[in-house]
Amino acid sequence: MQLHKMRNHWVFSPQEFFGVVHGLKPVSRNILSNNEIPPAKFEKECKKNSVIFEIKELKEMYNQKANAKIAYISKEKELIEKAKEAEEKGNRKKIAKLLGYPECCAEFFSKEHAFGVTKKILEKSQKPFNWQLNFFYNLDSRLNNIELNALDWQTVERINSYCIYLINHVPCSFECKKSQEYAEKMKKILQKEEPRLAKKIEEILKKPLFYQSELLIAVFEESNVKKSPLLEELSTMKKSEAINKLEKGIGELLLFE
Ligand SMILES: [Zn+2]
């Protein structure tokens, strides 16, 4: 399927959908907004690829009262039930494994409840980081579908942030071998299903990145940092000055907010 067609579905990113189709992810799930009705086209696409698509209402999540509508996809109905149950009961390790996270990262996720990058991961990993583990651009876990829909394609192109990832979990470190294996498999899946996106992802993930909330610079392989005096300059600036400079529109660095 072409990326622009996939975009119209919006229920799952190509990584999630094809990750399930090709067996890399046992389950994928996405929280829907209350009035959101997934397009019929998406259901058809699932049938064509022998993927089971179900929407579940969860009254409880992580042992707290909830009123959540969650879309699940899997090749096995039973795994959808297991994922729903794990999330209701707050079994983070189980849900992480069902979503395909490597064992070490599932363990890390369940202990740290790490939804975003933490200083700890950046500091304990040797630079430059493996570019395949650059998960900073994954907006999927931070925006609901309505918010994603509200982003016009130009904005998305400008911030280069729509489904730009190979791993959508927080790795236990930027050296995690299991996550690298996962990313390599995802890359091959995308090269087959969405070659244009695969190429774009590789190009973006290899760039250095200024991470605003912690004022940290994440440097990935092939970032060519030495040729970027700007990066050095930013790292010595105060946060407000650095943001000012970035807002003036610098094409060389990509900003994650
Ligand atoms: Zn790991």
Q: Is the pLDDT confidence value at 52 over 50?
A: yes
CA of 83 to the centre of ligand 1 (A): 20
CA of 174 to the centre of ligand 1 (A): 8
CA of 117 to the centre of ligand 1 (A): 14
Cα distance between residue 257 and residue 188, in whole Å: 29
Mean pLDDT lowest among 3-7, 42-46, 87-91: 3-7
CA of 148 to the centre of ligand 1 (A): 28
Cα distance between residue 33 and residue 214, in whole Å: 30
CA of 118 to the centre of ligand 1 (A): 14
pTM over 0.85, yes/no = no
CA of 108 to the centre of ligand 1 (A): 7
Band (123; pLDDT cuts 50, 70, 90)? confident
Mean pLDDT lowest among 24-33, 42-51, 143-152: 143-152
CA of 9 to the centre of ligand 1 (A): 31
The structure tokens listed for 26 are 């046992």
Cα distance between residue 216 and residue 123, in whole Å: 10
The more confident residue out of 173 and 126 is 173
CA of 182 to the centre of ligand 1 (A): 10
DSSP 129: B
CA of 109 to the centre of ligand 1 (A): 9
Give the mean pLDDT of 240-246.
67
The more confident residue out of 160 and 214 is 214
Q: Is the pLDDT confidence value at 227 over 80?
A: no
Mean pLDDT lowest among 58-62, 77-81, 177-181, 232-236: 232-236
Q: Is the pLDDT confidence value at 113 over 70?
A: no
CA of 141 to the centre of ligand 1 (A): 19
For residue 73, how many C-alpha atoms fall within 13 Å in the half-sphere facing its CB? 27
pLDDT of residue 210: 65
Band (105; pLDDT cuts 50, 70, 90)? very high
Residue in 193, 182, 201 with CA at minimum distance from that of residue 21: 193
CA of 173 to the centre of ligand 1 (A): 6
The more confident residue out of 59 and 121 is 59
Q: Is the pLDDT confidence value at 144 over 50?
A: no
Cα distance between residue 162 and residue 168, in whole Å: 12
CA of 16 to the centre of ligand 1 (A): 19
Sign of CA dihedral 128, 131, 134, 137: positive
Strand ranges inside the chain, DSSP E: 27-32, 52-61, 64-74, 209-211, 216-218, 254-256
Cα distance between residue 149 and residue 167, in whole Å: 22
